[in-house]
Amino acid sequence: MTLKLLYGFHAVGARVRAAPDSVRELLVDMSRHDARMQQFLARAQAAGLAVVPADAARLDALAGTHRHQGVVARVEPLDKLSTLDAVLDAAAGVPLLLGLDGVTDPHNLGAVLRTADAAGVHVVFAPKDRAVGLTPTVAKVASGAADTVPYIMVTNMARALAALRERGLWVVGAAGEAQTTLYAAEMTGPTALVLGAEGSGMRRLVREGCDQLVHIPMRGHVDSLNVSVAAGVCLFEAVRQRVGTASN
């Protein structure tokens, strides 16, 4: 089994909390004596993990250009559902999916995954040919969400949307030129939200694969939002609608 590396308090700490048995080696710069490190070490001890002391040079060599904050872990990949059908079959509650078309920046993907986790998204999916994979940078920015939210890369985005529609999901795409606002969309039922990259947006066939196009109302001078911010706005509008429905 190929182990992967996680760096920093957020990514490593989230794995320690969620799946401590998957941590095969935990390397820590023991020259750090600040409160944050002491809290992390206490959490690792409570999880029954042994700590391997490592100096900064060794951690730097493992992390390369990534900022490790004195903490690096070798971990087993977590078993995840590997297809959209499998995710939908296993989903608890009303499905909420997020599709990303053309998001290639690892920082953006990490931020989107973190938001998706907070919103209770069942899966994030993207096309294999126009997307970034789950890199160490993605894992660090996601602060543990890369382990909790399935990220599936599909062969063809338009076909994936068609398959979701056949399963009864309502596909809502965000597009700046859309006439309908996000807040007029109905997202209390099984829903797949689709966002494109900032600037280029969704590709034509992906756009045509949506049941409805909506825009986020903009009140200032800029005409677009970073994709991770747009994901937060759209996902939590869906959450707001569902919370309201559940309380009735």
Binding-site residue ranges for S-adenosyl-L-methionine: 196, 216, 225
Residue closest to 152 by CA, chosen among 198, 111, 108, 121: 121
Alpha helix stretches (DSSP H) within 104-144:
106-119, 136-142
187 membership: H or E segment, kind and range? none
- Residue 57, token pair as written in the block: 């040079």
- Residue 63, token pair as written in the block: 């992390």
Long-range contact pairs involving 59-64 (C-beta distance under 8 Å, separation at least 24):
59/27, 59/29, 62/5, 62/27, 63/5, 63/7, 63/136
Annotated binding-site positions: 196, 216, 225
b/e code 112-124 from CB counts within 10 Å (16+ = b): bbbbbbebebbbb
Q: How far is CA 73 from CA 69, 135, 176, in A?
A: 12, 14, 41
8 Å CB contact between 153 and 109: no
Phi, psi of 205 (to 5 degrees): -65, -35
